[in-house]
Amino acid sequence: MAYDTNLSNRIREYLLDFAHLQVEEKEMFRGLTFMINGKMCVSVSGENMMCRFDPERQEEVAERTGFLPMIMKGKTLNGYCYVEPAAFKLNKDFQYWINLCLDYNDRARPSKRVKQKKSS
């Protein structure tokens, strides 16, 4: 699935204002993920933004226009969501979603790395 390159450019440009962040881009989740300081922070998936945020804020965030729950294997993943394009069209809304992800990033747990098998 292709992802919205205009959205990925918009995120990339916004993150440039945070010189202290280590930003790495990885193609994953059928899109482009922005890893911040070694942790998944925000992604572009199709035309949607995928956000990682504090799970304690799930109910609050779910009230926002454009929020779509992330569901994997029939289970809602708290602390993750998709956001429809109309919900981040305006700069103030775009900044809300990106800052929501950045605010949680320092406290977020890094993903478990897959251990490589030793070759004999």
For 10-58, what is each residue's pLDDT tens digit? 999 999 999 899 999 999 878 999 999 999 999 999 999 999 999 999 9
Q: How confident is the model at residue 2 (pLDDT cuts 50, 70, 90)?
A: confident
Q: Higher model confidence: residue 112 or residue 35?
A: 35
The pLDDT, as a whole number, for residue 77 is 94
- Do residues 35 and 42 make contact, with C-beta atoms less than 8 angstroms apart? no
For the chain, the average pLDDT equals: 91
Q: Where are the domains of the chain?
A: 5-105
Give the strands of the sheet with 31-36, arranged side by side: 23-28, 31-36, 39-45, 48-52, 75-83, 67-72
27 sits in which H/E element: strand 23-28
CA nearest neighbour of 96 among 51, 58, 55, 59: 51
Residue 120: per-residue pLDDT: 46
Pick the closest to residue 23 from 7, 8, 10, 12 (CA basis). Answer: 12
| Single-letter amino acid, residue 36 | I
CATH class assigned to 5-105: alpha beta
